[in-house]
Amino acid sequence: MPQTLANDRLLRALRRQPVDRTPVWLMRQAGRYLPEYRATRARAGSFLAMAKNPELACEVTLQPLRRFPLDAAILFSDILTVPDAMGLGLYFAEGEGPKFERPIRDEADVARLAVPDMETELGYVMDAVRVIRRELDGSVPLIGFSGSPWTLACYMVEGGGSDNYSKIKAMAFNRPELLHRLLGVVTESVIAYLAAQRAAGAQALQVFDTWGGVLSPTLYREFSLPYLQRIARELERGEGEDRTPLILFGKGNAPYLEVLAATGTDAVGVDWLVDLAEAARRTGGKVALQGNLDPATLYGSPEAIASEAARVLDSYAEGNGGSREGHVFNLGHGMSPDMSPEHVAALVEAVHRHSAR
Ligand code: CP3
């Protein structure tokens, strides 16, 4: 039975139903910009130790909600838990970001991959979802997430972050069938992962196609889009008021808004390089839209933040026939560690004030 939520603005907006004010949450709302996050991380010893401990993952998930009247919680975890569970050996080299001990290089590496067991190999994620749901106690919905197949494959083939995606793009040109085989097993894992988070209690689901925008249109349509379409089509998510909405977020996805809206997803998340009025016109009410304040706006003054937030809200309404329905306010990408909590408070307050019906 779906639990009645004290604050269901996010779910209503994702269903394009009327709300009293536009819901807001922020990608990377839990993180190093909060002193209490840094304290919990120091106690845990590392980011991964924290993410793999359901009680600590719950603690840092709730930290931003104690400070700001956000309309959703997002599971504290990482997109790279899935390739880690597929045997690649995730680690974080100090100051260098995520890396894999055993990246995917050839045929044999791809052949060894299998869909991980969600309740054992990724049981710590499902336990975190259950603990967070219990602690949220019906206050706001919990968003679960996964990386997109393309974005996960980037890390799996490059072995970590990359400036030019040389290895995976070489694979796309030289061994397209091998890359499709890799993307196929990753897609099955992503669908199983999202379904397991939903079964554990996640009330909305977001796919991060963070690196889709590094592809030419031809490669995007071959290596990212078809797998997003498959997720939107195959992921079982219920009907009506019981439906668990799916948000497809993509950095650099502006050229593909029409085709993304036609995938069957419930919502599309966009970065700040597209005008929301244009995005709303081009998607024509088929989906909800999430976004899209430039995260760097948080380096501006509280007054600048408020006026930019108002501009984003009004831009959406302008493209949506004058209505704010179907908009979830967010940044166009994640927060950074050097952002100020006071400015986040100013942003959340401004969104709620300016969008109050
Ligand atoms: O939004 C949230 O608050 C939920 C938590 C979340 C994290 N990672 C926590 C995290 C989410 C949704 C992610 C997703 C993620 N992880 C993405 C896609 C999101 C996007 O921004 O498009 C990507 C590309 C990753 C891979 C990854 N993990 C990177 C590039 C890094 C950063 C390394 C660094 O030093 O900044 C991580 C680590 C990570 N994941 C941190 C957090 C809070 C920082 C860890 C720390 O405390 O040092």
User: In tens digits, what is the pLDDT along the chain, a chain of 357 residues?
Assistant: 456 999 999 999 999 999 999 999 999 999 999 999 999 999 999 999 999 999 999 999 999 999 999 999 999 999 999 999 999 999 998 888 999 999 999 999 999 999 999 999 999 999 999 999 999 999 999 999 999 999 999 999 999 999 999 999 999 999 999 999 999 999 999 999 999 999 999 999 999 999 999 999 999 999 999 999 999 999 999 999 999 999 999 999 999 999 999 999 999 999 999 999 999 999 999 999 999 999 999 999 999 999 999 999 999 999 999 999 999 999 999 999 999 999 999 999 999 999 998
Residues 61, 185, single domain; the answer is yes
Structural domain includes residue 284: yes
The C-alpha atoms of residue 242 and residue 249 are separated, in whole angstroms, by: 22
User: What was the ipTM of the complex prediction?
Assistant: 0.91
Q: How far is the CA of 78 from the centre of ligand 1 (A)?
A: 6
Any atom of ligand 1 within 6 Å of the Cβ of 41: yes
Q: How far is the CA of 211 from the centre of ligand 1 (A)?
A: 14
Structural domain includes residue 182: yes
In three state form, how does the secondary structure of 127-145 look? HHHHHHHHHHCCCCCEEEE
Instruction: Point out the ligand 1 atom lying closest to the alpha carbon of residue 251.
Output: 22
Structural domain includes residue 2: no
The whole domain housing 261 covers: 10-19+244-356
The yes-or-no answer on residue 84 being catalytic is: no
Structural domain includes residue 260: yes
Q: Which two tokens stand for residue 212?
A: 């889709």
Residue 353 near residue 22 (C-beta atoms within 8 A): no
Domain finish residue from 236, 255, 277: 236
Going by C-alpha positions, the residue among 5, 132, 36 that lies closest to residue 77 is 132
Residue of 33, 37, 155, 256 marked active site? 155
Which pLDDT score, from 0 to 100, does residue 285 have? 95
Q: Which residue lies with its CA nearest to atom 35 of ligand 1?
A: 97
Any atom of ligand 1 within 6 Å of the Cβ of 334: yes
Number of folded domains in the chain? Answer: 2
Q: Which two tokens stand for residue 27?
A: 């990608």
Residues 219, 342, single domain; the answer is no
